[in-house]
Amino acid sequence: MTAIAFDTYAMVRRLKASGFSEDQAEAITGALKDGRESDLASLATKTDLRESEVALRADLRDVETSLKADLRETEDRLEADLRESEGRLDVKITDLSKRVTDLSHRVDLGMAAGRADMRLLEQRMTVKLGALVAAGIGIMIAAFRYLPPAGH
């Protein structure tokens, strides 16, 4: 630290010349000297500032390195989580696709069974209608045969 010169002897002579006793002049000069030294001791020098700057830059580099490492770690974790989520989603989509396919097959089978039932009902109705027509024709033949002719 750079010290600024303070001529204590000149100060004591000056105080004595203005009417102070030697003890008073020395006491005042000592107090002023102590005050100046304590004020100067708390001042930062250019060297102090350079040392602080170097330390601060080193701390900033450490923080930057730490932040970059944390960022890489977080990015890796997020990528792993994303891959895991994609895998689970693929499994769910595959499962859903299988369910849709199964449901489609069931619907197709149900429709085929429904068509078969409709054909069977159609055949039954045809047979019943044929039987009714045959019975009606039989009744008409019997009526023509056993009824007397009209006009006799």
Site of tokens 């002579």: 13
The pTM is what?
Answer: 0.41
Q: Which amino acid is at 20?
A: F
**Phi, psi values for residue 61, rounded to 5°:** -65, -40
Site of tokens 């900033």: 60
Q: What is the pLDDT along the chain (152 residues), one digit of tens a residue?
A: 455 667 777 888 888 898 888 888 888 888 888 777 665 666 778 898 899 999 999 999 999 999 999 999 999 999 999 999 998 888 899 999 999 999 999 999 999 999 999 999 999 999 999 999 999 999 989 888 888 777 65
